[in-house]
Structure 1
Amino acid sequence: MQSDLTSRFPLPGASEEPEKGTPASLPSSPISADASDEVPFLRRVPFSSRRRRAVSESHISYLSSHPNLRRSFSREVGHAAAETYLLTRLTLTLLRYLGVGYRWITRFLSLVCYATLLMPGFLQVGYYYFFSSQVRRSIIYGDQPRNRLDLYLPTDNSGSNPAVAFVTGGAWIIGYKAWGSLLGRRLAERGIIVACIDYRNFPQGTISDMVKDASEGISFVCNNISSYGGDPNRIYLMGQSAGAHIAACALVHQAIKECGENDISWSVSQIKAYFGLSGGYNMLNLVDHFNRRGLYRSIFLSIMEGEQSLSHFSPEVIVTNMSGRFDFPPLPPIILYHGMDDCSIPSDASTAFAEALQSKGFQAKVVLFERKTHTDLFLQDPLRGGRDELLEDIVSVIHTGDAAALARDAVASPARRLVPEMILQLARKISPF
């Protein structure tokens, strides 16, 4: 496997609560009813109060005779309500920290319109997230608030499947594990387990807390994925936007830790490759850019624990300041994806990080997408359906050396469109990202 990856990347120069009773280290049980337990569909026809009462009594009787179904439905509704509350609270927190100004108000209105246009797709993905038996939500991986992760399991989970530990984006303020549900669904359809790691956001935590949470989530995946049908020898790390930065920090900091500590819960050698999507890796170069974009300097420096900490949480700077390749253990192959029309984080951020890695002898490459914005690769393109260039590239790396999986990929059906093209184009024009 390593030789296959080396050939692909030549070296240069040569706060939800978990389900009660579910232990953190064991797989949670699927929440689903047998096909024979499905509630009969009731046609919407006018009926008298007597008939309505009879139907209601019949429905109650049906649920009474199927207590597992009743408890499952109540639990799903409870989860949906809890997560809606959490998202509302995150939004209000973002509002409070960004303050009120002309620039911010226009971006906020753009965000509302953008989300409204894409709502048909979000609703379909949300239904899958809450009601699919292939999703295990809110598995505990640590003892801090938000130390939860969601698992997306393939339909055929009988063998040892590769796994991706994914850290979602959200400007370090509104990151949330459910943001990865579309990616999780797509990769699970290709036989890949996805673990979407939640973490404390600002102001609940600062960047060191976020990196610590991500590292503990990665550790959980490395040490427990076999319990969920995953292959512990085929684990990949991925992050998007702020999540790409957090995941890269966790990877580099873990490599440094391995040089001086024996008591470690996971190793960079367990990660087969790192995928960074639309990420920033040099905070010194991005602080002023974010300030112009509305993530004001004072807020950003509070998130990053002060200007003096920017270098410590800049993977590119850490790698650049290395005196030699053997300052810490070899990093896995690093693949960075970026849209060339990304205004939130310029594509130069990925290019510069890859060049820094290559200059120290690490395997790294950049894949740039023309005319793609910050959200095109992660949202609009997957919602569009059909063949997804980014997804296909990630899957091809993960399935390198697996002839059977590659053969299945070659005949895989294109994804179904979730949002009409005209709406996607309009959403792209008004996107605040």
Structure 2
Amino acid sequence: MGACADDGGGITAAVTAEGMAVDQERAAECSGAAPLLPPPLPPPPPPRSWHAVDSLADLGLPLSPAAAAEHAVAEAWRLFKLALKLWSYVGLGWKWSLQACRLVVYALLLLPGFAHMLAFYFWSPLVKRDVPYGRKPRQLLDLYVPAGARPGSDPVPVVVFVTGGAWIIGYKAWGAALARRLVEGGALVACLDYRNFPQASAVEMLEDVNTGVSWVSRHAARYGGDPEALLLVGQSAGGQLALMALLSQAAQAASGRAALGGSPCWHPRDVAGFVGVSGAYDLEGLAEHLHRRGLYHNLLDSIMCLDGKKAYDKLSPLAAARGLAAALDGGGGRDGDGARLGGGAGALLPPALLLHGTADKTVPHAGSELMRGALEALGVPCALRLLPGKTHTDLLLEDAFRGGPDPLADAILEAATGRPRSSWHPRTCPAPLVWLAGRVCPF
């Protein structure tokens, strides 16, 4: 890894030979006023009745029986190898094993709610699943398009959602219940998938998020979305990835130098606002806490790894924002580079809203309080809403299944439209099952 620029938080970095950041020419272009957009993806091959699988785009076309069987075997073998690699990190540790068992019981208790959610996910005409946003594995997204939204009509706000999953079990469908509330509220929603560990490191996950945000910004208008009203939302691990990507884009746009986590490049002004939900912003402060809950040090160190060494300080949004704020306060030396970097990055960042439950035992809400302070030190308008009694999963799943008010969906729609929201939704899972699930939830 090249040497990091002296910004106090390790956010700006020289370009590595392995391509962990954009090249100097692209980073310089990103520092201009106009947003730099990646080149458009080449068009997929024309439809054919039978063909082999040569690229990600081919997966949306009909396969010959032989190609389908070959692809299924290859995918099964790949997943088996990834599972073995993951098992080598967690082994038979009792904490991890207990958490896995609790997760199974949790899912079974909420099965009625999940069945309702999946019925909408697979059969609703509002859902366009598995839309490729890039050429690499798992660079797919689900689009939830409001009824009546189309090019030429009044554009609707756009929400890009980056799900959580401890950087290991994240999947785009986890946001389906939330996306249903949002699309019914009139927003175009893009739920991003991204590579998980051990298939990818956190830097590669950031590459996926950046690629997805750029794609949505360029293509939202095709589906009736307003690219000027794009809201970036990240939950849990997805909050770390989404905010880190946004901070990296702002840092390299302000400095003209490549930033770790800023590849591929897009302009931070492409995003009108950020909403963080139970976000894991303080990696250094969380490491020991997560270890005690079963996400062991050796596993988290490998996820947040650069050049074979753990790099919490370089991949933590809290550390990144504090580094930029320190550069702003200190002036960055005699030439004032740091002041220009910190001040320029802060001016490019959109307003932020952080939501966190006070009963969250997985990612304590203290991290969101620290994150608000770091963003405000950069001059970023940032509001923090602490939700009494809410756990780590309440906002995303249990609230959606138990019915009644949905504070998360209302907050996101309010941030997207600028209008207060107060909604009421039907129950999709019996209240006793939701209560029991909350008691056994491992998160």
TM-score under structure 1 length normalisation: 0.76
1:95: Cα distance to partner? 4.8
Task: Give the letter aligned to residue 409 of structure 2.
Answer: L
1:270: Cα distance to partner? 1.6
CA contact (8 A) 1:156 1:191 kept: no
RMSD value over aligned CA atoms?
Answer: 2.9
Distance 1:128 1:217, change over 3 A: same
Distance 1:21 1:138, change over 3 A: farther
Task: Give the letter aligned to residue 98 of structure 1.
Answer: V
User: What is aligned with 1:349?
Assistant: 367
Is structure 2 residue 76 aligned with structure 1 residue 106?
Answer: no
1:211 is aligned, of 195, 206, 209, to 206
1:330: Cα distance to partner? 2.4
1:266: Cα distance to partner? 2.4
CA distance in 1, matches of 2:184, 2:86: 34
Is structure 2 residue 314 aligned with structure 1 residue 312?
Answer: yes
CA contact (8 A) 1:94 1:174 kept: no
1:168 is aligned, of 141, 149, 163, to 163
User: What is aligned with 1:271?
Assistant: 271
Partner SS for 2:429? coil
Task: Give the letter aligned to residue 397 of structure 2.
Answer: L
CA contact (8 A) 1:169 1:240 kept: yes
CA contact (8 A) 1:258 1:264 kept: no
Gaps of 5+ in 2: 1-42, 48-56, 63-68, 329-341
Is structure 2 residue 311 aligned with structure 1 residue 298?
Answer: no
1:124: Cα distance to partner? 1.2
Partner SS for 1:222? helix
Distance 1:213 1:129, change over 3 A: same
The one-character-per-residue Cα deviations of 1:44-97 (angstroms, maximum 9, x if unpaired) are xxxxxxxxxxxxxxxxxxxxxxxxxxx9xxxxxx9xx99x97998687775554
Is structure 2 residue 121 aligned with structure 1 residue 129?
Answer: yes
Is structure 2 residue 411 aligned with structure 1 residue 387?
Answer: no
The one-character-per-residue Cα deviations of 1:156-192 (angstroms, maximum 9, x if unpaired) are 3143111111111110011111111111111000000
User: What is aligned with 1:429?
Assistant: 439
CA contact (8 A) 2:357 2:390 kept: yes
CA distance in 1, matches of 2:157, 2:166: 28
CA contact (8 A) 1:98 1:104 kept: yes
Between the two proteins, the alignment pairs up a number of residues equal to 354
CA contact (8 A) 2:282 2:319 kept: yes
Aligned pairs for 1:240-279 within 5 A: 240-259=235-254, 260=256, 265-279=265-279
The one-character-per-residue Cα deviations of 1:215-266 (angstroms, maximum 9, x if unpaired) are 0100001111001110111100001110010001110111112131699752
Is structure 2 residue 428 aligned with structure 1 residue 418?
Answer: yes
Task: Give the letter aligned to residue 176 of structure 2.
Answer: S
2:174 is aligned, of 172, 179, 189, to 179
Partner SS for 2:364? coil
2:111 is aligned, of 119, 126, 133, to 119
CA distance in 2, matches of 1:422, 1:189: 27
CA distance in 2, matches of 1:423, 1:144: 39
User: What is aligned with 1:223?
Assistant: 218
1:308: Cα distance to partner? 4.8
Distance 1:416 1:19, change over 3 A: farther
Task: Give the letter aligned to residue 322 of structure 2.
Answer: T
User: What is aligned with 2:418?
Assistant: 400
Distance 1:161 1:308, change over 3 A: same
Gaps of 5+ in 1: 1-17, 23-27, 32-70, 72-77
Aligned pairs for 1:5-154 within 5 A: 95=87, 97-154=89-146
The one-character-per-residue Cα deviations of 1:74-128 (angstroms, maximum 9, x if unpaired) are xxxx9xx99x979986877755542212222221111111000001111111111
Task: Give the letter aligned to residue 286 of structure 1.
Answer: L
CA contact (8 A) 1:91 1:174 kept: no
1:207: Cα distance to partner? 0.5
CA distance in 2, matches of 1:385, 1:233: 32
Partner SS for 2:240? helix
Partner SS for 1:196? strand
1:20: Cα distance to partner? 8.0
User: What is aligned with 2:234?
Assistant: 239
User: What is aligned with 1:370?
Assistant: 388
Q: Which moved more, 1:317-326 or 1:123-132?
A: 317-326
1:208: Cα distance to partner? 0.4
Distance 1:343 1:20, change over 3 A: farther
Distance 1:87 1:178, change over 3 A: farther
Distance 1:391 1:231, change over 3 A: same
1:316: Cα distance to partner? 1.1
Greater Rg over alpha carbons, structure = 1
User: What is aligned with 1:9?
Assistant: none
CA distance in 2, matches of 1:155, 1:19: 27
CA distance in 2, matches of 1:318, 1:123: 40
User: What is aligned with 2:349?
Assistant: 331
The one-character-per-residue Cα deviations of 1:339-383 (angstroms, maximum 9, x if unpaired) are 111111010011100011112221112110111110111110011
CA distance in 1, matches of 2:85, 2:165: 13
CA contact (8 A) 1:222 1:266 kept: no
Partner SS for 2:305? coil
Distance 1:388 1:93, change over 3 A: farther
1:131: Cα distance to partner? 1.3
The structure with higher relative contact order (CA 8 Å, sep 6+) is: 2
Distance 1:93 1:384, change over 3 A: farther
Partner SS for 1:251? helix
Identity %: 39
CA contact (8 A) 2:210 2:265 kept: no
User: What is aligned with 2:282?
Assistant: 282
CA distance in 2, matches of 1:137, 1:86: 24
CA contact (8 A) 1:215 1:250 kept: yes
Partner SS for 1:164? strand
